[in-house]
Amino acid sequence: MEANSKFRRFFFNLIHSFALKLFVLVIILLTVPLILWWQYQRTERQQAALLHNAVDQTGRVVAAMLRPHFAQFESEPPNALADALAGAPLVNTKVKILVRLKGAAADDFIYIASAPSLPASYLKRERAELIQAGIFQRMGPTCDRATDLSVRFVNPAGNSELLTSMTPVHEGGNCWIVITAQNAADIAPAPLHLSFWEVPALPAAIIIYLLSAALVILLSVHLWRNVRRFRSAARRIRMRGDASFRKLNTIPELTGVAEDFDGLVQALTESQDFIKQTAEENSHALKAPLAVIAQALEPLKRAVPMNDASAQRSLQLIERSVARLDAAVSSVRDLEQAAAEVVYPVRRPIDLTAFLSQMVRDYEITLAAQAKRLDLFLEKGVTAYANEDLLEPVIENILENAASFTPRFGTIEVYLEKRGDVVEVRVADRGPGVDPERLKRIFNRYITYRDDKESGNLPSTEHQGLGLWIVKRNVEGLGGKVVARNREGGGFEISVTLNAEA
């Protein structure tokens, strides 16, 4: 169940993560150009295939229409083939008729006619261009089969033509070739076979895309920086620094949220002050009648005869109870004020090395009387953000806990070291340790386990089980954490981790 809960929590955090959404957005921005390029290439291929097929069909129709003239070429008037070609329904299509006479070389083609009609000098220059380009060499196989060369050719007039549908017709041993050609601009509104980067609309599309991507990235960075500022403000406020969510916010839409956060901080501060004030007022209200009782006892003590043992005993019980109640009221007041401090403690940089050295030095006298000693391993110059009033009972309770389980002539070890942005305090002993099943409950309120030689680990009636609970409460109130574990080779260790930086 716990594993499932952790997985659900991880999955929930993952799908709601701002960083994940930003990462997905970046992937989308990088993918869009690739998708557009792939779509452009696909559309270009489809458009070219359709246009080539259309021109090819035109060539086949023209060849079929002129086939009778090819068969009667030698017996027809010289202009019959040209007139037939001129009367063909051609739209933006240029047709040239070439023939390779029987017995001629494979690439020896002669211009016979063209539509529209062209002067002989033009055809001569074009023939030279075709020979130089190697087109005639490639036309040889068309006398055996239809060939779609799909070759761009710039004619002598400077126009780009697409040569296609070189349809062969065999008549009387001669090989006739019907070549259909069109200006590239007449085939499609956009030039064919352009690279993706040569598309006319691409510069404008790139500018719009880059502006959109820059705007999205700028917005994401701006929001991310504002979240970090919020986090910084929360940390400074928690450390009782001078900070305000509203002053650090730069997004107008988050102004209401920032003001609500500031209101929560103010309410927390007012609640803390109210708890302290209430504790003081309750203490005063309870101590006043106790003081009256204590004062009223004085004349009674003088009035009661010394030989009246029963009356003297009653007075002593009343006096002792009043003193106990007075101490209890003071203790409750201190406990409530300490609880208020934990709600929103005032923290400042503390030289933890000097603080621990002083506390341990005072505690060594108590341990010496119990035939126990301390070994210190304190790193020099370690500073932590903490509160001395909250930290002092933490160290005292941990030391007392270790001392209560350390045998005579035993040693308690105290370690202090800085690791990155945290400070760790460890107090270790070589006592019996704690049953692993009970280990996770030792920081609970009113829980205590003490060694008993006869019956093993049993709850002790001499301890209230508040020491380690106070440790956990104060450490977490300071923004740290406390961990307990059994040591290898026997013994017990409590580790307190505090922030080294604000």
The answer to the question of residue 13 being in a domain is: no
DSSP assignment of 275-317 equals HHHHHHHHHHHHHHHHHHHHHHHHHHHHHS-TT-HHHHHHHHH
What is the model's pLDDT at position 460? 40
179 and 299 both lie in a single domain: no
Helices (H), 72-167: 80-86, 120-133, 135-139
Region 26-37 average pLDDT:
78
182 and 113 both lie in a single domain: yes
The answer to the question of residue 229 being in a domain is: no
Region 398-402 average pLDDT:
87
Region 75-86 average pLDDT:
80
The listed range with the strongest mean pLDDT (77-81, 255-259, 350-354) is 350-354
Give the domain-ending residue among 298, 321, 343: 343
pLDDT band at residue 452 under the 50/70/90 scheme: very low
Region 51-61 average pLDDT:
77
Higher-confidence residue: 304 or 11? 304
Give the domain-ending residue among 308, 343, 378: 343
What is the model's pLDDT at position 455? 33
User: What mean pLDDT, rounded, does the chain reach?
Assistant: 76
The answer to the question of residue 64 being in a domain is: yes
pLDDT of residue 194 exceeding 70, the answer is no
The answer to the question of residue 140 being in a domain is: yes
Region 326-331 average pLDDT:
80
pLDDT band at residue 495 under the 50/70/90 scheme: very high
Residues 248-272: tens digit of each pLDDT: 777 777 788 788 878 887 887 778 7
**By mean pLDDT, which of 52-56, 185-189, 208-212 is the weakest?**
185-189
Backbone angles phi, psi at 434, to 5 degrees: -130, 140
What is the model's pLDDT at position 239? 61
What is the model's pLDDT at position 13? 63
What gap in Å lies between CA 301 and CA 460, rounded to an integer? Answer: 39
- Contacts from 125-134 at CB under 8 Å and sequence distance 24+? 125/156, 126/155, 126/156, 129/153, 129/154, 129/155, 129/156, 131/107
311 and 399 both lie in a single domain: no
CATH code where residue 82 lies? 3.30.450
391 and 427 both lie in a single domain: yes
Region 159-169 average pLDDT:
66
359 and 281 both lie in a single domain: no
What is the model's pLDDT at position 459? 40
High-pLDDT (> 70) share of the chain, %: 77
- Domain range for 413: 348-499
C-alpha distance from residue 226 to each of 19, 20, 212, 369 (Å)? 14, 17, 21, 58
pLDDT of residue 54 exceeding 80, the answer is no
Residues of 328-367 as b/e, b for ≥16 C-beta within 10 angstroms? ebeeebeebbbbbbbebbebeebebbebbeebbeebeeeb
High-pLDDT (> 90) share of the chain, %: 2
325 and 370 both lie in a single domain: no
pLDDT band at residue 148 under the 50/70/90 scheme: very low
**By mean pLDDT, which of 29-43, 147-161, 175-189, 364-378 is the weakest?**
147-161
pLDDT of residue 465 exceeding 50, the answer is yes
Adjacency order of strands within the sheet including 160-171: 110-115, 94-100, 174-183, 160-171, 151-154
What is the model's pLDDT at position 453? 40
278 and 419 both lie in a single domain: no
Residues 104-131: tens digit of each pLDDT: 777 777 888 888 887 878 877 877 777 7
Residues 276-322: tens digit of each pLDDT: 788 888 888 888 888 888 888 888 888 888 888 888 888 888 888 88
Residues 151-161: tens digit of each pLDDT: 555 555 555 55
pLDDT of residue 186 exceeding 70, the answer is no
The answer to the question of residue 218 being in a domain is: no
**By mean pLDDT, which of 88-102, 279-293, 442-456 is the weakest?**
442-456
292 and 382 both lie in a single domain: no
What is the model's pLDDT at position 456? 35
The listed range with the strongest mean pLDDT (111-120, 173-182, 390-399) is 390-399
419 and 494 both lie in a single domain: yes
The answer to the question of residue 206 being in a domain is: no
Structural domains counted in the chain: 3
The answer to the question of residue 411 being in a domain is: yes
pLDDT of residue 150 exceeding 70, the answer is no
Give the domain-ending residue among 304, 327, 343: 343
335 and 363 both lie in a single domain: no
471 and 375 both lie in a single domain: yes
pLDDT of residue 191 exceeding 70, the answer is no
CATH code where residue 428 lies? 3.30.565.10
What is the model's pLDDT at position 461? 38
Q: Which residues lie closer than 8 Å to 412 by C-beta, 6 or more apart?
A: 367, 372, 373, 374, 375, 399, 402, 403, 406, 427, 428, 429
Region 231-252 average pLDDT:
70
The answer to the question of residue 281 being in a domain is: yes
pLDDT band at residue 426 under the 50/70/90 scheme: very high
307 and 430 both lie in a single domain: no
